Amino acid sequence: MRAALAALMFSLAAGPLAARDFLLVPPIDCNLGTDCFVQQYVDRDPTDGARDFRCQSLSYDGHKGTDFALRSRAQMEQGVDVVAAASGTVRAIRDGMADQLVTSENRAALAGRDCGNGLVIDHADGWSTQYCHFKRGSVQVRSGDKVTSGDVLGQVGLSGRTQFPHVHITVRKDDAVIDPFDPTGTSTCAVPSAETLWQTPIAYQPGGVIATGFADAVPEYDTIKAGQAHRAELPADAPALVVFGYIFGARAGDTLHLRITGPDGEVIDRAVDLDRTQAQLFRAIGKRRRDAHWPVGIYEGTATLIRRAEIIGTQRNVVEIR
C-alpha cells in the first residue's frame, strides 16, 4: 500500500509539471541559511523508514511536506511572516490553537489537528498548498480571499504537533502530494533531480549549526531552543567557561568540533562524536576556572559539524569577560 501511494505521489512527470507553469516562492519571510533553514523534506521512502529526495535523513516516516524552521522561539516571538507560495484562493482556515511543544501529555489532544493553525490555498489546474503551525491569532486572511504570491498569511508559530517553530507546506496536484524539490519524481540517490517547483532553486543543506554560544555552565536544552542560552558577557570570576553547539540534521558518525580561544590562546578544543541520527541536538564542552579570575577580554567559540571529513556547517560567537 505504501509503495502504491508513493508511486501515485510522484507519477506526474508530464503535463503541468514539465511545463513549469506552477512555481513557488518560499512560504516564509526570512533569509534562508542565515535566520531560517529547511529542517525536513517530503518522505520519499515507501517503507516504514524515511529519506528525503537526496536519499538523506532529513525527513520522518510519512512526512508530506517541507518544514522551514526558525532558529529559536525568541525569533518566533519577535514575529516572522508566513507568505503565500503562489497566487490563489484561500480556504479551510483554522486559528486559535495554542503555541506549545508537543509532549506525551498533550499528544492525544492534538489527534486530527496535527497541522495546528493554518490554511489551504487553491491554485489553478488542480494545484493546492497547505500551510501549518501558525502562531495563534496571527492568521490574516479569510476563506474566499484572493491572495497573490508573497502576500502575508500569518506568522510562524508552534501550534499543532511540533517540537520547534516552523511553517510546514504541503504541495498537492489533484490531491496527490508533490515534492517541490523533485516534482517529477525522477531523482535518484546517484543523480539528484534538476527539476524544481521553486522559482529560485533552494540549495540543499544536509545539516548544519543552528546556534552556538557561551554560558558559565552547561545550559538546559529548552533554554537553547528558546534562544536564551548565550551570554554575551560573563564576570571574570565565572565558575566555568562553556561553549555549546546547537545543530540540525545530525547523522550517526558525524563529529561536532567545539573550540574556545581567548586572550591567551586556546582554552579548550574537543571533537565530540555523534552516535545517533537526530533532527536536532546540542552538545557542550567547557573548562572550570582554576585561578582567581579568567583573563579579561574577548573569547571566541566555534562549533563545526563534520561528516566524512567534510564541513557541513560552522558558526562562531563571542563572549566578553570583564
pLDDT tens-digit map of 77-136:
999 999 999 999 999 999 999 999 888 888 888 888 999 999 999 999 999 999 999 999
Domain with CATH 2.70.70.10 in the chain: 2-178
Model confidence over 12-53: pLDDT tens digits? 333 445 446 799 999 999 999 999 999 999 999 999 999 999
3-state per-residue secondary structure call for 71-135: CCHHHHHHCCEEECCCCEEEEEEECCCCCCCCCCCCCHHHCCCCCCEEEEEECHHHEEEEEEEEC
Least confident of 55-64, 186-195, 229-238, 280-289: 186-195
CA-nearest of 131, 23, 21, 148 to 87 is 148
Model confidence band, residue 239 (pLDDT cutoffs 50, 70, 90): very high
Residue 73's φ and ψ, nearest 5 degrees, are -70, -30
Class of 208-321 in CATH: mainly beta
Name the percent of the chain in helix, strand, coil, to the closest 5. Answer: 10, 40, 50
pLDDT for 98 equals: 95
Q: Is the predicted pLDDT of residue 6 greater than 60, yes or no?
A: no
pTM above 0.75, yes or no: yes
211 falls in which pLDDT band (50, 70, 90)? very high
Specify whether domain 2-178 bears CATH 3.30.70.580: no
pLDDT value at position 20? 61
Query: What is d(CA 46, CA 68) in angstroms, rounded to the nearest whole number?
Result: 23
- Burial code of 132-159, b = ≥16 C-beta within 10 A, e = fewer? bbbbbebbebeeebebeeebebbbbbbb
In terms of Cα–Cα distance, which of 199, 201, 231, 196 is closest to 216? 231
pLDDT of residue 219: 98
All CATH 2.60.40.10 domain ranges in the chain, comma separated: 208-321
163 pLDDT exceeds 80? yes
Name the pairing type of β-strands 233-234 and 255-262: unpaired
Residues in the chain: 322
| Rg, Å, the chain Cα set | 22
Q: How far apart are CA 210 and CA 221, in angstroms?
A: 13
pLDDT at residue 3 tops 60? no
The confidence score (pLDDT) of residue 14 equals 38
191 compared with 48, residue with greater pLDDT: 48
Inform me whether the pLDDT recorded for 2 exceeds 60. no
Residue 93, pLDDT score: 97
User: Given this model, what pLDDT does residue 196 score?
Assistant: 95
Average per-residue pLDDT in the chain?
Answer: 93
